[in-house]
Amino acid sequence: MSTQTIFKTIGTTSQSVDISLVQNAASTAAGDPVLGLAYNTSLLACYYRIPPAGTLTAISLVTQTVGGSFSSGGFVQISSTLAPGQYRFDIPNACLAGGGECNITFSGAPAGTAGNMETHTLKIIVTAFDLFTAGGAVMTTQMTESYAATGVAPTPAQALFLLQQRGAPTSRSVSGTTETITKLNGSTAAATFTLNSASNPTSVTRAT
């Protein structure tokens, strides 16, 4: 059996993928690309299952062209000479409707013009967010201002806000042995610290 893993975002539709199919152990060139399969090749079967409780559901393969518009179950050889063994497959939308995992299996040992096909599993990890844009979104999305209470482990955002405000001269003031850090508005206290000396401090502790 051959296996391929891809990642898709939950709820996306009209998705296509290129799969690579190889000859099975009974063929004279096991492991080499299997050529010449079509959507209606005899014995070619396709099923999907959504674990853990889903049952095998048949996918009806349909005719497709390499550059054609999406058609659920579309299946076509890309090029027997330039991309041997590669086929375009249009993923049914139901496979991506929920988060988690969807396994699509191509089986039946159909005969191509070069060898019989090894069973192939297309494992789709369906994520709650788009992996292609998530990294950029993290860097450009504004955080909600928040500060952890004394003695409570902060979230990353809470830690960053406190570090930023304590490092900004306009957000930090000292009166006696009390250091006050203000929020972004410049007036509301975000946290206070106690210095061990008003004139020559050598240590500081979080007070509130």
- List the structure tokens of 156: 């990353």
**DSSP 3-state percent helix, strand, coil across the chain (nearest 5):** 10, 40, 50
CATH code given to domain 2-134: 2.60.40
Is 39:68 a contact under the CB 8 Å cutoff?
Answer: no
DSSP state of 89: E
- In tens, the pLDDT along 56-68 reads 999 999 999 999 9
Find the mean pLDDT for residues 4-25: 95
Q: How confident is the model at residue 143 (pLDDT cuts 50, 70, 90)?
A: confident
- Taking 70 as the threshold, does the pLDDT of residue 136 lie above it? no
pTM over 0.75: no
- Taking 80 as the threshold, does the pLDDT of residue 120 lie above it? yes
For the beta sheet containing 189-195, the strands, ordered from the edge strand earlier in sequence to the opposite edge, are: 172-175, 178-182, 189-195, 204-206
Q: What per-residue confidence (pLDDT) applies to 134?
A: 60
Query: What residue spans in the chain does CATH classification 2.60.40 cover?
Result: 2-134
